[in-house]
Every structure is written in C-alpha cells, then in structure tokens.
Amino acid sequence: MSEALKTELVNFSELTGEAGSARKAELARHVAALFALTSERCSDEQVGVYDSVLLRLVDMVESEVRRYVSEQMSGLRRGPLDTIRRLADDDIEVAEPILLRSSILSDEDLISIAEKRGNSHCYAIAQREVLSENVTDILVQRGDLKVKRKVASNDGASLSDASVQSLISDAASDATLQNFLSDRGDLAEAHISSLVAIASDEVRKKLRDSGQSEAAERVGEAADIAAQHMSNQYWLGRYDFDTAKARVMLLAKRGMVNEAALRRFASEDRFAEAVATFALMIRGDVEELSHCMVSPNPEPFIVLAKAFGFSSISVSALLSIGPWRHRLTPEVRNLAIAYFARLTVAEAKRKMSHWNTNVVS
C-alpha cells in the first residue's frame, strides 16, 4: 500500500534530464501544499509516505523551493518529522520558518541545531513563542549579543539561574540587554540586585528622581541602596492596579467581594485584583498594601490578615502568587504560614496599634 501511494504521489523515474528540474520544483511545491491541506486527516502511515517523498524531493530542488516547502510545513501540528528536521538544518533562508514556528521539533532537535549551526539559526530559535531552559541555556552559551538580547526580551523563554547570571554579566557592557532583562517578570531577588548593581548610571538617575540625591552621590553605596529602593517598584511596575481597582469595585457593587473572590483571584494568579480585593476588605490603601504584599518580609501582611480574620487557606494562597511566587523561598513561605497559625487576633491588633502607617484607615 505504501509503495502504491508513493507511486501515486510522485513517479521519480520521470524526473530525469534537464526537463526534470522544473518538474521536480513543481512536484515539491504541489506535494507540500497538498500535505499542508490534508495533514490533520492523514493516517500515521500516510504521513510517513509524505515524509519519504518530501525528504527525497527537497534534496533535488533549489533553496527557493525548499523555502516554500519549509513555509508550508512550519505551522502544522503534525507533519513529516524527517523532512522538517532536514529543513530546520538547512541554510537559514530555508530553515527560518521551521525554526520560528514548528511545534513538531523537539527540544533535542533545537539544541542539536543550535550546537552545530551558527548565530542565524540561534537567532531564529530565540524568537520562538516558548523556549525551555535547556534550549535557552544553549542559546545563551553559543549565541552572540543579538541572540542574547532576543532571548532576554522573549517573555516565553524560560531562563535557568546560570543563563540569567550569564546574561547579567554580558549586560554590564550593554545597556540594551540591561533594559530587556529589567522588563522580565521572572527574575529572582538576587538577580534584580545584580542587575541594579551593574546599571550604575541608571541607578543614580532613578535615585535622584526619587529625591534621594545625597544617596545618589555615594557611588560606592548606590547599588545597595538602589537594590533596596527599586526592587519593590520593579515588581509592581508590571501590574495595572487602576484597572484592577475598577474591576473589584464593580464586584463590590454586586456584593461579591469576599474571601471566595480573593481566593479565585489568587488561583488565577491575578495579583493586582487580589491586592485590590484585600485592600477593600480591610478598608486599606491599595498602593500601600501592594508594597506590603510584594516585600520579601511577609510579616506585616500576616499581621493584617490575622487582625482582620482571614483564613489560613486565603493567606497561603496569597503567599504563592504574583511577585511572592518568585521572592519568597519555600522556607520563608512555610515560616509565614506557621507564624499566622500561632498569632492570635488580639496580638495582631496590638501590633497594628503600634504601626505608624496609613495602610489601613
């Protein structure tokens, strides 16, 4: 059956001589387009037949035709694996569509190509919507500055600790890479401090803008001061609290602001809405509470939650979302939950009475 279908698709015995060159190109385009249209309906055996035919054809045609086949194959959810691997390992003009979009390539395929090919292939891979740590490790190790910038600016790229450290090291001499890294939402606290430390000019400017001109002049201390001053704002700057407050107020008008809503926002990792809900429930200030709920020290939040009668389930959920998902270690999170359990409401209210703050009215 396979041989019959293969013969039906292409009669290779006719593809000889000079006249066969144009015929090869025509057939390659035709078979690729036909498979792209029918791929979802093909059986595994039929996919295998197309694979063997296309693999043979792409080795017979010019790069312009191979590029066409690559474009046809790049967006498919199932396809001729050997052909796709062959195209991905071609010259970049051919390989680019596959490297950018094909979900059929495995991490092992991408790593193999990145290891044996040059920066052009690495740059194409770096633009994929989703990249695992294993792939980005290779891209960061082997890629040039253009590749590293693309990895750093790709929100869908997961970065290992080693890759982040390597990128921060390279960013010491590249302001563009610094900016891309500073826009990421997945950097650990130590990474943020390291990034702040190398961006000394930006650090001093931000300190001056915030009214701390004297601190800004102490160049030797600027990085440490800035790390403490800027880290909260780094995390909070990526959330739209104004829109979140408006959404929560609409829920409040319907009588739907309660712990169930709070936990729902937490389960969906909607940090801004969770902060706005918590603030409304304790009649607090959203801006102040956002800083409280991003701090690496969760004690003030624990005190507030206990004083206002929140459940341990809600507290545990809130400790694991938004910036706290990255800033709190499992040990700190467990200690906070244990502290909440042994703290009494009376003790929490007594601690609040000594605070000099406008967190709550």
pLDDT of 283-338, one tens digit each? 999 999 998 998 889 999 999 999 999 999 999 999 999 889 878 888 999 999 99
Taking residues 235-245, report their average pLDDT: 85
Share of the chain above pLDDT 90, in %: 59
The upper half-sphere exposure of residue 167, i.e. CA atoms within 13 Å in the direction of its Cβ, equals 32
Domain finish residue from 83, 105, 127: 105
The answer to whether residue 35 is domain-embedded is: yes
Q: Is the pLDDT of residue 200 over 80?
A: no
Residue 210 lies in a domain: no
Of 74, 105, 136, the residue that ends a domain is 105
Q: What confidence tier does 171 reach under pLDDT thresholds 50, 70, 90?
A: confident
Is 155 a member of any domain? no
Q: Is 293 contained in some domain?
A: yes
**Containing structural domain, residue 43:** 1-105
Residue 112 within a domain: no
Per-residue burial over 10-41, b if 16 or more Cβ lie within 10 Å, else e, is bebeebeeeeeeebbbebbbebbeebbeebee
- Mapped onto helix, strand or coil, the DSSP state of residue 20 is helix
Q: What is the reported pLDDT for 310? A: 97
- Among candidate residues 42, 74, 105, the one where a domain is terminated: 105
Higher pLDDT, 251 or 176: 251
Is residue 214 a part of any domain in this protein? no
Tell me, what DSSP letter sits at residue 359? S
Mean pLDDT of the chain: 84
The pLDDT value given to residue 12: 56
Residue at 92 is within a domain: yes
CA distance 273 to 266: 9
In angstroms, how far is the first alpha carbon of the chain from the final one?
79
Contact between residue 64 and residue 32 where contact means Cβ atoms under 8 Å apart: no
Question: Does residue 168 form part of some domain?
Answer: no
Number of separate domains in the chain: 2
